Chains A and B, each alone.
Chain A
Amino acid sequence: MNIYVAGVATTKFGELWDVSPRMLAREAVTGALSDAGLSVGDVDALFVGNMLSGLLGRQEHLGAFFAEELGMKTPAFKVEGACASGGLALHNAINSILAGQYATVLVLGVEKMTDHKPEDVATALMGAGSDEERAAGATFPGLYALLARVHMEEYGTTEEEMASVAVKNHEHAHLNPNAQFQNLLTVEHVMRSSKITDPLKLLDCSPISDGASAIIVTGDKRPFGQTQGRQETGKNAIRIVASAVATDTLGLAQRKSLTELRATREAADRAYAQAGLGPDDIDVSEVHDCFTIAEIFALEDLGFFRKGSAAAQITRGSVSLGQSKRLVVNPSGGLKGCGHPVGATGVKQVVELTEQLRGTAGKRQVPRARVALAHNVGGSGATAVVHILKR
């Protein structure tokens, strides 16, 4: 069975104090339905990706919450896997279609983080780590700082090379009207920003954001009577040809290796096998740069560059829009530039890649993009989700 992306949409990401989670969801879903040429009555099930609705907003039951808000009475689910919640929601939606359970499924990634104090959000985000890490007073950036130091000592990766990840992703975000940040950065800006958790500085870290993204996925079987959807014909049909998930230990201390995120590597290996493709086939990728070091790990663990060599490649412009001859990474601006409303990110990545493959990415368009890979991580690498899309 083929899985098609029938419709996509995303809201602006940012500090959106006057926009509620309901408004975010309605905007994203209305956009995706309109893009697909469908109405809410055509949808068989709703999967919601979100991490913090309970801890911050005291609302856990999001399947029912958003189904009601959207005027749906279908089966509805909240799917959670820390920052991989969005990717996991899509994975589950695809599985439900492959199982023949539902035919047209709506995936909504949504997160509201800026209603709360940063220190409370930091505490909530540590729900992605282990008890031991919470007791140590570690923060989420702190965990990635521990990984960064090992990578720096093992491979000579420098703080300046890490900073160039932020510079590149802001260059891309500058071209994205939905991105939280449109300002350009220099390596010096990043190096001079305040230390959050050595060696990570403010501008090494993705922001706290609000936002929602939505995708409608369908299978080969025509789910609706006479209605014609956009997914049906020809070169605009974007297919999801792989969807893979892998799990590693919750906490860093229990990992086998500190220089790779094994969950990323396993999910990627499985996804490449599902698609019958390899890293060299990928034209454009959205990877999980929650912190600058995370993009460096990602490009190595996804097989794009040899272990220890990604930092220099990124600095050189090898994966930048307009400079790369082979692969562009994070054309949306990534988590750093576009923003990181936790549950929305995994879905936004696939929205961006769909636009890239359709050729509708405007100033961010990667020329002749035909195969795309989305990489979404939960916690410090406990969960990884990889999707591959093809035109």
Chain B
Amino acid sequence: MSSPVKIWRNQKEVARLVGATGVIVSWTIVRVPPADYGDQAPYPVVLLSLGNGKRLTAQLVDWEPRHLKHGQRVVTVIRRVTQPNTDDVIPYGLKVKPLS
């Protein structure tokens, strides 16, 4: 998502989904990241189920190995997605962190 216009257009979507709770239904730890995510690896990517029958895929932050299990409760937060692009726009987006 390196276009500043696209980042701006996506802000409403991100704001709408912040603070939503869910549970982990699957997880992995990405150890060989794509370009732009090198400074964050290794990191977990999780599939979570939100209350309303919807699911989300997001990076898990502030995590410990014990959090990587089916049924772990998580909440969506706003975090920096990657380093600023060449336009100096910092892309923020949705990640999830464990609850308790």
- Chain A positions near chain B (C-beta within 8 angstroms): 117-120, 122-123, 126, 130-139, 141-142, 145-147, 149-150, 153, 194-200, 251-254, 258
Contacts and interface: CB of A to CB of B under 8 A. Distances in A.
Contacts of A253: 47, 54-57
B45 interface: yes
Contacts of A196: 31-32
Given A123-B34, A150-B26, A197-B28, A132 B47 contact: no
Interface string B31-60: 111111110110101010000001111110
Nearest to A194: B31
A254 B56 CA distance: 8
A258 B57 contact: no
A312 to B, nearest CB: 22
B93 interface: yes
Interface string B47-79: 100000011111100000000001000000000
9 contacts: A117-B35, A135-B1, A137-B37, A145-B28, A146-B57, A150-B26, A197-B45, A198-B28, A258-B26
B55 A136 contact: no
A200 B27 CA distance: 12
Given A138-B30, A149-B28, A251-B57, 8 more contacts: A134-B1, A137-B41, A138-B45, A194-B31, A196-B31, A252-B57, A253-B55, A253-B57
A136 B58 contact: yes
Contact of A146 (B28, B38, B40, B59): B28
Contact of B31 (A131, A147, A195, A258): A195
A338 B28 CA distance: 27
Chain B CB within 10 Å — which of A119, A131, A194, A253 has the most? A253
Nearest to A150: B26
Interface of B: 1, 25-38, 40-41, 43, 45, 47, 54-59, 70, 81, 93-95
Contacts of B70: 153
A175 to B, nearest CB: 30
Contacts of A142: 28, 30, 45
B68 to A, nearest CB: 8
B1 A146 contact: no
B47 A146 contact: yes
A156 to B, nearest CB: 14
B33 to A, nearest CB: 6
Contacts of B25: 150, 258
A146 B56 CA distance: 12
A139 B30 contact: yes
Given A119-B34, A153-B70, A253-B47, A136 B26 contact: no
A138 B32 CA distance: 10
Contacts of A146: 26-28, 45, 47, 57
Contacts of B81: 135, 137
